[in-house]
Amino acid sequence: MVMANSPQVPVETVNFHLWQPCNMSCLFCFATFRDVRRTVLPQGHLDRRDAERVVRLLAEAGFSKITFAGGEPLLCPWLPDLVELACDLGVTTALVTNGSLLDEAMLDRLAGTLEWITVSIDSLRPRTLRSLGRATAGRVMDEAGYLALCRRIRQRGFRLKVNTVVTSRNWREDLSGFIVAAGPERWKVFQVLPVEGQNSRKVDPLLITPEQFESFISRHLHVELAGIALIPEDNDAMTGSYAMVDPAGRFFDAVEPGGYRYSEPILRVGVHRALSQVTVSRAKFLARGGLYEANLRRRPSPGRRYAAAASRAVR
């Protein structure tokens, strides 16, 4: 059931988890989509043409912002083309990434069409990152690496956001100094969320109490004095407050026990019918701060894209 106050869609933003494969194995990940790969999508993603159709349909239905997520979306060879398509359709574009593949060449490809880059940073301690699975072939990014990446993103003109999942292994950490130095516009802090079929059993040792989550939030509230918006999301705030599309092009939610509930495919029944088969609460979306200036519909800026292309040509 969709609770909407819009004639088109209940919320302005949608997360498209277009790519199931990932180069990390985070134990707490609630978007593994192994069930999707096992049952309906063996390759773990739509082909390029179908992914483009999903993006077009989401924009035409009235979503004003599309966030590309995974898995790790930068593993998708045609991600820059999907971002460009969304930009051309007048949609604000965003990316959530673990940062391991975000090199200068990729930043060049995304310049002018991607507005927001969200980097997932859960700890500054290599040992903790390895224990969480936030590693690629055993290698992790240290504090200096994360800081350099965040600064490079900002220097290249992208808007920066940081995501942090709070677990039993990092809830005592103090990331304040790093966050202020990195300078994201927004810092989204999540309470680790157990989802049956996504992180079953693996996540159990990582669960925390509401009091532990609140302790982490309270310790970091002062980053707002530096102009950084701190947005905490406990388990209740996260469920039913997002419009989310899985790698098979279906809406999904986690409002009931037992794992994700999936809609019929958007490409078969359309956005509105598929969206009506899951729960997206506008009230909860607004309560978690989902609506802000950057999520309002904008028109594409060809001048910015062409300027970026010219800049790449002379590099």
Sheet strands side by side (includes 250-253): 229-233, 186-191, 159-166, 116-120, 92-97, 65-70, 13-19, 244-245, 250-253, 261-265
Residue 87: active-site member: no
Q: Residue with structure tokens 């909860």?
A: 284
DSSP string, the chain: -EE-SSSS-SSSEEEEEEE---S---TT-S---HHHHHHT-TTSS--HHHHHHHHHHHHHHT-SEEEEEES-GGG-TTHHHHHHHHHHTT-EEEEEE-STT--HHHHHHHTTT--EEEEE---S-HHHHHHHT--BTTB---HHHHHHHHHHHHHTT-EEEEEEEE-TTTTT---HHHHHHH--SEEEEEE----TTTSTTTTGGG---HHHHHHHHHHHGGGGGGTPEEEEE-HHHHTTS--EE-TTSEEEE--SSSS-EEEEEHHHH-HHHHHTTS-EEHHHHHHTT---GGGS-----HHHHHHHHHHHHT-
Active site residue 150: no
76 counts as catalytic? no
| Residues with active-site annotation | 22, 26, 29
